[in-house]
Chains A and B, each alone.
Chain A
Amino acid sequence: MRIFVLNGRKINDLFYRVTLLDCCSQHHRCGMTRNDPIKHFFIWPALLIVLIISIFPLIYSLTTSFMSLRLVPPMPPRFVGFGNYAELLQNPRFWHVAWTTTVIAFISVALQYVIGFSVALALNRNVPGEGLFRVSFLLPMLVAPVAVALIARQILNPTMGPLNELMTFFGHPNLPFLTQTRWAIGAIISVEVWQWTPFVMLMLLAGLQTLPDDVYEAAALENASSWQQFWGITFPMMLPISVAVVFIRLIESYKIMDTVFVMTGGGPGISTETLTLFAYQEGFKKFNLGYTSALSFLFLIVITVIGLVYLAILKPYLEKHK
């Protein structure tokens, strides 16, 4: 009898939760969101600061992207319409650089997600020594990218580095880690994975800790294997946060710059050059500001398109699991 009552309460509780969730997804009719003039006091400081700092770069770069503007040698700005854009789109270097950036961003984010998810699962399941792992796994995220790249250059040094010694032991001395395209891209990807997997792990672990225990208890009663539990419960329930984390990481990876700059400088040739590095070379080596501005707007378009496609592909899955 008591069990029955307990079950009844549980069902009620679940029902309450579901209605609450449903109510929150529709902000406007929800009793939770209030209407109080104080809300303006809460939001305006942030809004003003971001507006002030972001509007000028936007205005400045959009207007210069339609001009031919060089600082060295100084030339008066001249309106060229879509000239800069057309020139860029015909430049094979632009396409090459866009492709390199895409390869680096997608492979490194995919690895970060897979490794980060696995580690987060292990930590969530109280692996032995979990307390130590929790703190130490975060460290790479806190190290300056410039410092990381400098450390990577020491480790990957083809004659004095420890990795060379390891590879010599396996019979491959003096591998060109940073001076041959494939190795160099691999090196950049590993550095990105080293540094940013902790971020993915942190976010996914936070999400995993909010999953309710009772679903797993029910699954255990049904004798579902861990594999089935993962694909049937954990993965679908983690989908929204996964989508958000991967999205943020993709955007940030596309902006990769200091790491590449210090590690390879874009070389050999332009084979590891990324979009921001290309913008830097044009803007601050050649002082070709119109061209750089046009480049950054193309960059913005590329990222927006990738983001929209990404969200459009995932939307049906998100709706399904809502």
Chain B
Amino acid sequence: MSVRDLKGNGRWWALAGCLLWLAFTFFPLYWVAITSFKSPLGVVGGPTYVPFVDFEPTLTAWRELLSGQRGQFYSTFIASTIVGLSASVIATAVGSMAAYALVRFTFEVKLLTGVIFVVVSFGGYLLGRHIAGLGQATSLIYAFVAALALAVGSSRIRLPGPILGNDDIVFWFVSQRMFPPIVAAFALFLMYTEMGKLGFKLVDTYTGLTFAYVAFSLPIVIWLMRDFFAALPIEVEEAAMVDNVPSWRIFFGIVVPMSKPGLIATFMITLAFVWNEFLFALFLTNSRWQTLPILVAGQNSQRGDEWWSISAAALVAIIPMVVMAGLLSRLMRSGLLLGAIK
């Protein structure tokens, strides 16, 4: 018996509490599952709980959904899957690399460099837009390139002022999630429309939606993976460094295999976030690349409170995530996040 085990009464109280929470967690999911098998009359007639005892289950809602009477079901499902998987794979890969760099290497950015970037990009945009008379997208691209070049150039020369370290860079990444999503989504829609006028179609395309999702998942990925890499034992990497193994091989050959549970957990969280995201999908897609949450929300607004079909549509959005959680949690057998590296 280890110190971690509960003793005596405490054990049963804890079990009772967990069972209570389990009931609270499961009831809504159970409810939506049985509602999807109810007939319209069965829903309106008041609550019923047990199939075959309380009510006779029917497949009406499912038949309607799968036959396409309730919107483009198949293409929506495929679009959701493709965008979700690729966005979370890219975000996990790119974000882990950045997180690793932020844990193991020293970065120093002068505050003034950041100020130069912001000022030049704002000023360049306003100049291009209101004085040079360029379009929104063109002036944005020019301003961005100029600001980036100046900022990188300025970091080469000696500048006065405070220096920002790794923690500040991480904070900057995480703070990107503080901006209200409504405005970000709308501004992104405007930017994509303007890019479309230049010949790069981004609204309602795979590239546009995936790119937006990768960018908005990165802060979470970096935040999660940073803690994870920081907890890895440094000795293995130091030993490899003594043998002159190049850094990129240390990362891909040693660090990535060691942190598989963390990568899987992060991938799962990112996928759930992308799969369930509503606002960006609403603004950035209209038909071809529409995702499941839009279809689910549409069930309600188009036909009113038809609970049986809303439930079936909601279940289609829920089930893949549940299956994936089951599969992936097996891969992370020995604990959820950090448990595996102890």
B-binding residues in A (CB < 8 A) = 20, 24, 27-28, 32-36, 38-39, 41-43, 45-47, 49-63, 115, 118-119, 121-129, 133-148, 150-155, 159-162, 164-165, 194, 202-203, 205-207, 209-210, 213, 216-217, 220, 226, 241, 248, 251-252, 255, 257-258, 262, 275-276, 279-280, 283-284, 289, 292-293, 296, 299-300, 303-304, 307
Nearest CB in chain B to that of A159: its residue: B46
A50 and B184 CA atoms in complex are apart in Å by 12
* Secondary structure class of chain B's binding surface, majority of residues: helix
> Does B236 have its Cβ within 8 Å of any Cβ on chain A?
no
Q: Binary interface profile of B, 94-114, with partner A (CB < 8 Å = 1, else 0)?
A: 110110111011110000000
A307 and B171 CA atoms in complex are apart in Å by 12
Does the CB pair B25–A194 fall under 8 Å? yes
A46 and B148 CA atoms in complex are apart in Å by 15
Does the CB pair A210–B297 fall under 8 Å? no
Complex partner residue of B321 from A143, A241, A258, A296, CB under 8 angstroms: A143
Q: A50-B173, A54-B184, A209-B336 are in contact. List 19 more A-B contacts (CB 8 A).
A: A24-B230, A27-B165, A42-B100, A49-B218, A57-B179, A123-B18, A127-B6, A139-B25, A147-B293, A154-B311, A162-B47, A209-B335, A209-B342, A210-B231, A226-B10, A248-B174, A257-B182, A292-B186, A307-B178
A226 and B5 CA atoms in complex are apart in Å by 12
How far in angstroms is the closest Cβ of chain B from A28?
6
> Does B75 have its Cβ within 8 Å of any Cβ on chain A?
no
Q: CB-CB < 8 A to B188: which residues of A? A: 53, 56-57
Q: How many residues of B contact A (CB 8 A)?
A: 114
A289 and B336 CA atoms in complex are apart in Å by 44
9 tightest A-B CB contacts, nearest first: A206-B337, A53-B215, A57-B187, A42-B101, A46-B98, A144-B276, A39-B105, A142-B321, A147-B314
A42 and B255 CA atoms in complex are apart in Å by 14
A-binding residues in B (CB < 8 A) = 2-6, 10-11, 14-15, 17-18, 21-22, 24-29, 31-32, 35, 43-47, 49, 94-95, 97-98, 100-102, 104-107, 121-122, 125-126, 140, 143-144, 148, 165-167, 173-174, 176-184, 186-188, 190-191, 211-212, 214-216, 218-219, 222-223, 227, 230-231, 234, 241, 246-248, 251, 272, 275-276, 278-279, 292-293, 296-297, 299-300, 305, 307, 310-311, 314, 317-318, 321-322, 324-326, 329, 335-339, 342
